[in-house]
Structure 1
Amino acid sequence: MTPWNPSRFSRRSLGAAAAAGALAAALPGAAEAAGPGRWSDCADGFASLPGLGRGPTTGGAGGATVTATTQAELTAYVTAEAPYVIRVPNTIEIAPRGTELRVASNKTIVGVGTRGAIAGGGFFLAAGVHNVIIRNLTIRDTLMPEDDPDDKEFDFDAIQMDTADHVWIDHNTLTRMNDGLIDSRKDTTFLTVSWNRLHENNKTFGIGWTPNVTAQMTIHHNWFKETVQRNPSADNIANLHMYNNYLQDVAAYGNYVRGFSNGVIENSYFERVHNPYYTVDGELVERGNVTVDCTWDEGLITSQGEGFDPRDFYDYRLDPARAVPSLLSRFSGPQRSIGT
């Protein structure tokens, strides 16, 4: 594995995204993409489905809407037994560094416009926690220079889930954390991760740490940029649907479908990625993807088995792969119209 070294990544312009812009405007699917004022408050993908005796994912809907401007207020609301829609209108500095606030069930945590941020910490969803929405936030900056390059001493994640279910992670910017940006651990399921920016990190999005093959998750319209490993690394996932993601300047590997996972990758755009997508033991179906200036190790398995049909579970619309860079440069990460 290539060691993490932030200096090796250049701040390249979004030339490919700009070039795709004109194409995106002309393509039927992309032209109809959701824009400001049109984002639904309802989860899609696997998070939208019932299962385990509960669901779909609605977060704190039905509970009081409150505003948190300090760590103490945020902690009180996210750990409460009652449902809450928790608005974050500013940057909340977390101390001590790396603290992961323990989120209880039936919560929506949403940034107000583009101003809501969690700096120096993150969120943890323990076993049994369910019905949580984390949306429209920037979660950033727990890097520990003394732990470079492996990020093994300080386990400071942006969002960690240990056997949680019915979780929607949407329109966030997650960056510069000392371990994972997202760790979906153990048997976390009914998870949708959509329209996020996952930038400048070593261990980006890890999935698994379980011998069971039960989890179901949807990962769509996310922009992975200047990352190294786990983009995602998905181990033992019963149904893994990844579509319309944009991976740019990825050093170690892109979508790694591990173990006995059953994965489908559709209409994603891979630019300057080493090993854009592959499997070893799992099933992987890929279709409609675009690779630009990518490199591959010899002998990689990029397609194996029959996969599954995501439409057997839910409806969705694919955008053309070549429109994805333009769409995500405009519409991923926190949006001014969400949380206001």
Structure 2
Amino acid sequence: MLQKTYILLIFYGLAYFLPLGTSMLNLTLPGTHPDPEAVAHEVHRKINASITRREMLALSQKDESSCLTGNPIDDCWKCDPDWPNNRQRLADCAIGFGQYAKGGKGGEFYIVTDSSDNDAVNPKPGTLRYAVIQNEPLWIVFPSNMMIKLSQELIFNSYKTLDGRGADVHIVGGGCITLQFISNVIIHNIHIHHCHPSGNTNVRSSPEHYGYRTESDGDGISIFGSKDLWIDHCTLSRCKDGLIDAVMGSTGITISNNFFSHHNEVMLLGHSDHYTPDSGMQVTIAFNHFGEELVQRMPRCRRGYIHVVNNDFTRWEMYAIGGSGEPTINSQGNRYMAPTNPFAKEVTKRVDTEEGMWKGWNWRSEGDIMVNGAFFVASGEEVEVKYEKAYSVEPKSADRISILTMSAGVLGVARDNNLGMWSRGPNGEGDDITDSGGLEYSDEMSLSARNTISCYSITLNNSRTMPLQCVVAMLLFSLE
């Protein structure tokens, strides 16, 4: 029965994108890097070089060094005083496994002038939906603050960049962002929040094709069978399912400089323990701030090679990094701050797996700082040989985390995602944009909120009784 399910999934993907041919399905297969430790090594080299430049210039040229943070991504473009006129330089600044994501580099600029999303099959020119379905590379920009309330999943075509720099752009509503069987997408400086399930209707994926979509999960960003992707400086919170999910053979992904908060299941990497194509999944998670009211999955990994480097984890409710299906997890130079709950100090969690099975999994912690009793349970055999290249340049000490992650999330505005109301313009002037939003913008729409957290604490403290809503919440927690 399991094999039949996979066959149906693949057939559905091919049928939905039939005009694109089977080559789209194979996009992810050649995207796996043959030497992931070398990629980790290169990430550290770039971090070291950026921090060294910052320290040297701070001594001799204070005015010129003010833009330098030691964060190699930001230093790559922010130190150009004319960056608004050189926006596409951003495409050369990624690091890690997603460094080959070119987005819309070389393409025309597309200016989003219409924030509406009234027709998922025949979107109007000027809308974001019209831009992301086009076949040609596009660099998509926003001339002013904007809330885009989606009616259905926003399905991208390949070679697109969402560049929200200079404006305060929020994407909310039905389905949110879907990257399915595509490549080369950059999403930068966008608020993504309060995403909820949508579907059971037709949605256009290209100028030539639209098709019927079943109900979506309500992820902030859903990645399915895609490669060469970079998600940078976004602020994500309060979605119905995951904030970022990558499954079904996706690879070549960098998730960097983002701010995550107010959510239960933050990030899922891998479709299932038995889906072997996800063994080629390679993801870099760097310079992110995992903030308040997060519960679990930062990330939760199935198979693949996941490099978690120089992130700031400021508490969790259950665990920070989890996995099953024998993923490789390379944790380097992070700061892990455990919650006050004495039963939730462990950073790691092997999900539904006995110790005898996970003892050989390659999970390593190198140069991490553990705060408030946090501890990382490492595992694996012959780890020294396997990680030799990754360690040949040591990750910068986690005491630099505050510098490396100080600008995580959308740049220039408050990190937290409110309920769709703000009054901040690109230069400080207010646009006074508001959206009442209705019930779909309530915090209860994500299964993270405080009921689930308090119920988890009740269970850990061996309470003999549990309210009915806690039983329901714990059952939902266990669903994969």
Q: CA deviation at 1:192?
A: 0.5
Counterparts in 2 of 1:309 and 1:65: CA distance versus 1, 3 Å? farther
Please say if residues 110 and 116 of structure 1, whose CA atoms lie closer than 8 Å, have aligned partners that are also in contact.
Answer: no
TM-score for both structures, normalised by structure 1 = 0.76
**Range that drifts further, 270-279 or 33-42:** 33-42
Residue 400 (structure 2) pairs with residue 323 (structure 1): yes
2:102 to 37, 58, 65: 58
2:70 to 23, 32, 38: 32
Please say if residues 184 and 229 of structure 2, whose CA atoms lie closer than 8 Å, have aligned partners that are also in contact.
Answer: yes
Q: CA deviation at 1:204?
A: 0.4
* Separation in structure 2 between the aligned mates of residue 177 and residue 156 of structure 1, nearest angstrom: 6
Q: In the alignment, which residue of structure 2 is the partner of 1:247?
A: 313
Q: How many residues align?
A: 291
Please say if residues 142 and 176 of structure 1, whose CA atoms lie closer than 8 Å, have aligned partners that are also in contact.
Answer: yes
What does 1:46-195 correspond to in 2, within 5 Å? 46-48=97-99, 56-69=100-113, 70-72=115-117, 73-88=127-142, 89-96=144-151, 99-121=152-174, 122-126=176-180, 128-142=181-195, 155-195=217-257
The residue type paired with residue 229 of structure 1 is Q
Residue 367 (structure 2) pairs with residue 288 (structure 1): yes
More strand by share: 1
Residues 168-207 of structure 1: CA deviation (Å, up to 9, x unaligned): 0011001111111100112110001011001110110111
Please say if residues 220 and 243 of structure 2, whose CA atoms lie closer than 8 Å, have aligned partners that are also in contact.
Answer: yes
Please say if residues 92 and 119 of structure 1, whose CA atoms lie closer than 8 Å, have aligned partners that are also in contact.
Answer: yes
Q: CA deviation at 1:336?
A: 4.5
* Separation in structure 1 between the aligned mates of residue 336 and residue 225 of structure 2, nearest angstrom: 30
* Separation in structure 1 between the aligned mates of residue 240 and residue 388 of structure 2, nearest angstrom: 34
Please say if residues 185 and 229 of structure 2, whose CA atoms lie closer than 8 Å, have aligned partners that are also in contact.
Answer: yes
Q: In the alignment, which residue of structure 1 is the partner of 2:347?
A: 276
Q: CA deviation at 1:37?
A: 1.8
Residue 280 (structure 2) pairs with residue 201 (structure 1): no
* Separation in structure 1 between the aligned mates of residue 228 and residue 372 of structure 2, nearest angstrom: 37
* Separation in structure 2 between the aligned mates of residue 79 and residue 200 of structure 1, nearest angstrom: 30
Q: In the alignment, which residue of structure 2 is the partner of 1:332?
A: 408
Q: CA deviation at 1:119?
A: 2.5
1:261 to 303, 327, 334: 327
Counterparts in 2 of 1:65 and 1:264: CA distance versus 1, 3 Å? same
Residue segments in structure 2 that go unaligned for 5+ positions in a row: 1-50, 57-67, 81-88, 118-126, 198-214, 414-425, 428-480
Residues 240-271 of structure 1: CA deviation (Å, up to 9, x unaligned): 11100111121011012431211210010011
Residues 310-332 of structure 1: CA deviation (Å, up to 9, x unaligned): 957xx98843212213532x211
**Structure number with higher relative contact order (C-alpha < 8 Å, ≥ 6 residues apart):** 1
* Separation in structure 1 between the aligned mates of residue 308 and residue 227 of structure 2, nearest angstrom: 18
* Separation in structure 2 between the aligned mates of residue 92 and residue 288 of structure 1, nearest angstrom: 40
Please say if residues 286 and 303 of structure 1, whose CA atoms lie closer than 8 Å, have aligned partners that are also in contact.
Answer: no
**Range that drifts further, 114-123 or 170-179:** 114-123
Q: CA deviation at 1:285?
A: 1.4
The residue type paired with residue 185 of structure 2 is V
* Separation in structure 2 between the aligned mates of residue 294 and residue 177 of structure 1, nearest angstrom: 30
Instruction: Give the share of equivalent positions with the same residue, in percent.
Output: 25
Please say if residues 111 and 117 of structure 1, whose CA atoms lie closer than 8 Å, have aligned partners that are also in contact.
Answer: no
Please say if residues 269 and 325 of structure 1, whose CA atoms lie closer than 8 Å, have aligned partners that are also in contact.
Answer: no
Q: CA deviation at 1:60?
A: 0.5
Could you say what the CA RMSD is over the residues aligned between the two structures, in angstroms? 3.2
Residue segments in structure 1 that go unaligned for 5+ positions in a row: 1-23, 49-55, 145-152
Q: CA deviation at 1:114?
A: 5.0
Counterparts in 2 of 1:87 and 1:316: CA distance versus 1, 3 Å? farther
TM-score for both structures, normalised by structure 2 = 0.55
> Partner of 2:243: helix, strand, or coil?
strand
Please say if residues 143 and 176 of structure 1, whose CA atoms lie closer than 8 Å, have aligned partners that are also in contact.
Answer: no
* Separation in structure 1 between the aligned mates of residue 393 and residue 226 of structure 2, nearest angstrom: 24
Q: CA deviation at 1:90?
A: 2.2
Please say if residues 113 and 334 of structure 1, whose CA atoms lie closer than 8 Å, have aligned partners that are also in contact.
Answer: no
* Separation in structure 2 between the aligned mates of residue 190 and residue 304 of structure 1, nearest angstrom: 24
Please say if residues 276 and 294 of structure 1, whose CA atoms lie closer than 8 Å, have aligned partners that are also in contact.
Answer: no
Q: In the alignment, which residue of structure 2 is the partner of 1:5?
A: none
Q: CA deviation at 1:295?
A: 5.2
Largest Rg, 1 or 2: 2
Residues 38-71 of structure 1: CA deviation (Å, up to 9, x unaligned): 38612210112xxxxxxx2100111111111414
The residue type paired with residue 331 of structure 2 is I
**Range that drifts further, 261-270 or 68-77:** 68-77
Residue 307 (structure 2) pairs with residue 228 (structure 1): no
Counterparts in 2 of 1:278 and 1:288: CA distance versus 1, 3 Å? farther
* Separation in structure 2 between the aligned mates of residue 31 and residue 108 of structure 1, nearest angstrom: 24
Residues 58-100 of structure 1: CA deviation (Å, up to 9, x unaligned): 001111111114144100001111111111342223243xx32
* Separation in structure 1 between the aligned mates of residue 134 and residue 102 of structure 2, nearest angstrom: 17
Counterparts in 2 of 1:311 and 1:44: CA distance versus 1, 3 Å? farther
* Separation in structure 1 between the aligned mates of residue 310 and residue 324 of structure 2, nearest angstrom: 20
